[in-house]
Structure 1
Amino acid sequence: MRETEMFEPLRCWLEGQGYQVSSEVKHCDLVARSAGEPEELIVVEMKTRLCLDLLLQAARRKALTDAVYIAVPLRGSKSSLRKGRALQDLLRRLEVGLLIVRFLQKTTRIEVILHPRPFQPRTARQRRIQIIREIDGRYAEFDQAGLPGGAPRLTAWRQRSLRVAHLLQSRSGAAPAELRRLGAPAQTQQILSKNSYGWFERVQRGRYRLSRAGTLALTSYQDILPDLTPADTPPQTVPQAPPRPGSEHQEIP
């Protein structure tokens, strides 16, 4: 498909709304001007696919008018733009509109996906809080920026799960309270019950042990395990239960 194939449907659509349409005006693909007062000027930049050049062109046209659109084609009634929601979010921030020229079997339809409007930035407070919690919840920074999308990250939850697994490694079973006294994180109960990575097994109510998957995980992450110990961790000794009444005895010399 060529960009010129999009011009005629766009021209007819704009003229049907009362605009005078001109093409290739001072590097603008399409310019529409209203007949009434105040005069309105619309600029449409066309490309056969979404690309950075199209967004850059639209951003530059904002110096001419607030009413700037990009137009891209789609074939068929069910096709949609790849990453459409993310694209719309970006265009809102650029204050640029989006038109779809949909080529159907017997006709062509113009769809207004987004009008250019003043953007009101809003801080995603909940996501900001989550980011701060994630940073504060890590024992250390292990990952390099730019990891592939599917690569496992050493998130705060994974680091703390490894900490719990490490404490369970030499024990046949332990309760969350015992592990916390040994330096396990405050979320130990949730980590064990959710078992996000399959590293734990419940041996009885309230007691857990390390699973085979957990043992393999500790082997994989053995180089970083020393860094998963908080500075204020108490010595790793198992608290002894007090003797039951009547069980005391004296050694016979």
Structure 2
Amino acid sequence: MQETSLYAPVKRFLESLDFTVKGEVGGCDIVGLREGEPPVVVICELKLQFNLELVLQGVDRAAACDEVWLAARMSARGKGREHDRRFRALCRRLGFGLLAVDGKGKVELLLSPAAVPPRRDPKRRSRLVEEHHRRKGDPSIGGSTRQKPIMTAYRQEAIACAAAMADGPKRPRDLKLVAPRAASILLHNYYGWFARAERGIYALTELGQAALQSQGVLDGPPQVAPFQVEQLGAKLGA
């Protein structure tokens, strides 16, 4: 059993509480937003068992959200930390919610998160909310940090730029509809996918072509028909 197997049942549980849930946002296994002004932000960390490392992760995340949830697999014989009153008492003092997932994917609420005096990190919280809003769909499974690269909103926009350029060089303004940050993405060229063909015009590099092929967006040789934006949305989980 892997941490990623916990993602779907925990996501369903949080969605039942009216949160919009996405995996692997800003280094967190799960980030959920509930509409409001400001939105309610929850972070949930996943582990195969309840342990101190999971609690420490929760402590680290607490400044960036309104609620912290810790989720782990339910111990088969009922002897795990989730049944230890001291462990629950610690999580209660920290204000953390606890969720246990059994072998059939059923989620049991062990402890609801409680309001504690906030120690907020506004910048970190703002980055999480922005990334959650920008990311199309939910392309990354929570708990999958070892499966690189994570499909961030920035990477989605870079792929959108590359896909739109598959039929030839483009100007940044030609790409703004599919990637609002196109100018910055082309200029900084973080992934090495783009090259300046002439002033103000960019073309795909071999790395860019390979990236499209690895995503299944581009098949066959570089010379392809113009890319359809609707196709991109399907590929990226929109």
Give the TM-score of the pair, scaled to structure 2: 0.44
Q: Which has the larger radius of gyration?
A: 1
Give the TM-score of the pair, scaled to structure 1: 0.42
Larger relative helix fraction: 2
